[in-house]
Structure 1
Amino acid sequence: MLKKLNSVRYMFIRSHLYGLFLNTLILLTVLLSVDVWFDPAWLEAGAVLLFIVVYVFIGFLTALYAGFRSSGDMKQRLDYISTMITQLARGKLSSRIYFQEDDEIAGLGDELNTLGEKLQQQKDALLKLADEKGELARSAHKAAAIEERQRLARDLHDAVSQQLFALTMMAQAAEKIFERDPVRAKEQVGDMTQMALQAQTEMRALLLHLRPVHLSGESLTEGVAALIEELKQKCRIEFHVDMEDVEGLTKTMEDQLFRIVQEALSNVLRHAGADEVKVTCTSDGEEVFLHISDNGAGFHVEEKKGNKASYGLKTMQERCEEIGGIFSLRSRKGEGTHIDLRVPVRFTMEGETG
């Protein structure tokens, strides 16, 4: 309530009421002076009181009306400015605002337009830089492939190889105790089954990284559809996919978004333990919205920071920011993980007039 009373409209009304109060004091002072100096017969206390009451009542109504009307234009123009600031904060840098008046508020609108143009130029430069970086990355693909093979070799050694070694040891132990303790041997066989399934999941996730880093002449929608179709044949996961064909994406942007989807699905296979995954991609003409979620185990985001397992999440965020996007991650234990990306695809030069 107090915040509303401090608005521009109420400030105008208060200023008019303050003017009414001052005028009433001045009028009373004049009437008192006339009464003291001239003592006219018509200046009676009852008449003065009636006049002041009527004057204050009419002045009060006039002040409310005048304050409300005079503040309307000011409030509207300030609302335009507030809306533009909000749009700039949300990444809609094509927003513009123009006023016919030539005053301080119009000057503020011009400065906001200039700020929007500069931010747009910087974002365009960032996208151009991302394209150039993508070209350099493709030219250095062989070196990157070698590095990727080395990383996969380390992952194979750290995860799958150790699990296979443990399976071998458990199988040998089960074979030795089968005659003496069949129940215990059966329990070990069950543990071996679970470990084999885990090793299989790890291997599928690692094989996912062996797919091409770049789309081979396919669009983002086609590449993601082919990737998920392949996973459907290998995993017991139900995929819900809704991908729109998005115009305005450069080759680098499509490659980066495809790689983010790869990384996210790899994390689902290795860590989430989910049986449902949702992938959606939509666009409003200026931005593309990519959403990836699962119903898996989830995690506490703060606990994940600094952990080795968070490397993939950090990589996805960096890839998103390289193409001028905004990366958002939400996850809680037992409630799955949700990843949302907003990436600009097109800028228009048409402004908004206020």
Structure 2
Amino acid sequence: MRLSRFNLKWQLVLYGLLTVCLSALYLFVFLRYGTQWIDASEWRWAIWCGPLLIAVAIGYFSGQQLQRRMDSLYVGIFQLQKGNYSTRLPAIGRDPFAKLFDDFNELAESLEIRLKHLQSLGEENVRLQAESNEQAVLGERRRLARDLHDTVSQQLFAIHMSASSLPKVLERDPEKAAAVAEQLIHMSFAAQRQMRGFIAQLRPLELENRSLTEALERWFPDYCNHNNLKGSLNISLRSPLHDALEHQLFLIIQEGMANVVKHADAKHVKLTLQETSSQVLLQIADDGKGFVQHETGAGSHGLSTMRERAGKLGGQLEISSRNGEGCRVKVSIPKLQPATDSGMKEDGQHGEAE
């Protein structure tokens, strides 16, 4: 790469020619006029010292110029390394380092512009992430409010109505009052069971310090015990899953288990999580009362939420159920293969070619 039209090598050649010319001029003047004041025995030293001093002076002057340019370039690179992207080198006109200084300034300006763009994108991503999190929180609040209204709220209202009528029924028909009391016990137990399910959903689970397998081995038995379920857990994963997939899978499992507690009236539930070469498969199967699929809306039993979460990962949800035969919910998530080294090299080659 040529630094400048006025190349460094020609500058050094000129300094060399200047040294030769000045040395020749010195010798000419010395031999013409200097011999009159200096003895013949001192000519040898005078002839050598003059050109030597001229060469040292010109070498020091040229080296000092080069050193200043190198120092300026070093300071500029040091400032860029420390993150001061507004650093610029001065214009030096016709100089061997002029092109290098100009290229450095263009590089610094390009880095500064790119850094500003990255900061803008980072701020925009933070803002969008905050909005997304806020929308997710609002959506979760709406879902919990809807579920509480559809289940616990209605049951508490029914308990209140039955309890209000119990004194009058007790006066008129003690036997019927005993049946009402038994019904109150059953409804209060069901409400307590469903409320435990909601509390289990709201209870925070730290996935940062443990894998999904470790979290499920801790959470699933506790959830089943709190809801009087016999649960069996079967996990067979070949490799660790990335954080986003683990988080969404756990939310799907929470929603599916909540559906079992609220609607299935099941005694046993089986949770299976396994991995193939191309998919991650999740299955929740219970021995509850089941339902007829074409008679159930697409958004019922929280299935729409599970289907939406699976869709975010490019997966799909399948339901198999009949009246009196339980229900099986199967979620399949495709495994996206990372880019190969050869592909990355080809991309890099394309980028270099462009």
1:314 corresponds to which letter in structure 2? S
Matched, 1:334 2:311: no
Question: Do the aligned residues in 2 keep the contact of 1:248 with 1:346 (CA within 8 Å)?
Answer: no
CA shift at 1:224, angstroms? 2.0
- The 1:273–1:329 alpha-carbon spacing in structure 2 relative to 1, beyond 3 Å, is same
Count of aligned pairs = 215
In structure 2, the residue corresponding to 1:324 is in which secondary structure?
coil
Matched, 1:220 2:212: yes
- The 1:196–1:253 alpha-carbon spacing in structure 2 relative to 1, beyond 3 Å, is same
Question: Do the aligned residues in 2 keep the contact of 1:281 with 1:291 (CA within 8 Å)?
Answer: yes
Q: Which residue of 2 aligns with 1:275?
A: 267
Q: Which residue of 2 aligns with 1:72?
A: none
User: Aligned equivalents of 1:139 and 1:220: distance in 2?
Assistant: 27
Matched, 1:230 2:207: no
Matched, 1:309 2:271: no
2:242 corresponds to which letter in structure 1? T
- The 1:229–1:242 alpha-carbon spacing in structure 2 relative to 1, beyond 3 Å, is same
CA shift at 1:251, angstroms? 1.1
Q: Kindly provide the CA deviation profile for residues 182-226 of structure 1, in whole angstroms up to 9, marking residues without a partner as x.
A: 101001011112211221232123223323488343321122222
Aligned ranges for residues 51-90 of structure 1 at < 5 Å?
none
CA shift at 1:325, angstroms? 2.3
Q: Which residue of 2 aligns with 1:254?
A: 246
In structure 1, the residue corresponding to 2:274 is in which secondary structure?
strand
User: Aligned equivalents of 1:136 and 1:223: distance in 2?
Assistant: 29
User: Aligned equivalents of 2:172 and 2:201: distance in 1?
Assistant: 45
- The 1:153–1:343 alpha-carbon spacing in structure 2 relative to 1, beyond 3 Å, is closer
- The 1:158–1:296 alpha-carbon spacing in structure 2 relative to 1, beyond 3 Å, is closer
User: Aligned equivalents of 2:214 and 2:323: distance in 1?
Assistant: 33
Deviates more, 1:157-166 or 1:138-147: 138-147
User: Aligned equivalents of 1:329 and 1:227: distance in 2?
Assistant: 24
- Within the candidate set 152, 176, 190, 1:160 is matched to 152
Question: Do the aligned residues in 2 keep the contact of 1:237 with 1:276 (CA within 8 Å)?
Answer: yes
CA shift at 1:243, angstroms? 1.3
User: Aligned equivalents of 1:146 and 1:325: distance in 2?
Assistant: 24
| Two-structure CA RMSD over aligned residues (Å) | 2.9
CA shift at 1:302, angstroms? 1.8
Question: Do the aligned residues in 1 keep the contact of 2:315 with 2:332 (CA within 8 Å)?
Answer: yes
Q: Which residue of 2 aligns with 1:323?
A: 313
1:315 corresponds to which letter in structure 2? T
TM-score when normalising by structure 2: 0.54
Q: Which residue of 1 aligns with 2:58?
A: none
Question: Do the aligned residues in 2 keep the contact of 1:285 with 1:346 (CA within 8 Å)?
Answer: no
CA shift at 1:138, angstroms? 7.7
- The 1:339–1:136 alpha-carbon spacing in structure 2 relative to 1, beyond 3 Å, is farther
Question: Do the aligned residues in 1 keep the contact of 2:288 with 2:326 (CA within 8 Å)?
Answer: yes
Q: Which residue of 2 aligns with 1:287?
A: 279
**Percent identity of equivalent pairs:** 36
CA shift at 1:305, angstroms? 3.1
| Unpaired stretches in structure 1, ≥5 consecutive residues | 1-132
Structure 1 residue ranges, 4+ long, deviating more than 4 angstroms after superposition: 135-139
In structure 1, the residue corresponding to 2:172 is in which secondary structure?
coil
User: Aligned equivalents of 2:304 and 2:163: distance in 1?
Assistant: 38
2:322 corresponds to which letter in structure 1? R
Q: Kindly provide the CA deviation profile for residues 206-262 of structure 1, in whole angstroms up to 9, marking residues without a partner as x.
A: 223323488343321122222212213311110010113442522111111111111
Q: Which residue of 2 aligns with 1:345?
A: 335
Q: Kindly provide the CA deviation profile for residues 53-109 of structure 1, in whole angstroms up to 9, marking residues without a partner as x.
A: xxxxxxxxxxxxxxxxxxxxxxxxxxxxxxxxxxxxxxxxxxxxxxxxxxxxxxxxx
CA shift at 1:168, angstroms? 2.2
User: Aligned equivalents of 1:326 and 1:164: distance in 2?
Assistant: 36
Deviates more, 1:327-336 or 1:196-205: 196-205
Q: Kindly provide the CA deviation profile for residues 124-165 of structure 1, in whole angstroms up to 9, marking residues without a partner as x.
A: xxxxxxxxx9x9668743553344234323432343223223
User: Aligned equivalents of 2:168 and 2:318: distance in 1?
Assistant: 52
Matched, 1:174 2:166: yes
2:228 corresponds to which letter in structure 1? R
Matched, 1:202 2:194: yes
CA shift at 1:172, angstroms? 2.7
CA shift at 1:322, angstroms? 2.0
1:257 corresponds to which letter in structure 2? L
User: Aligned equivalents of 2:225 and 2:165: distance in 1?
Assistant: 34
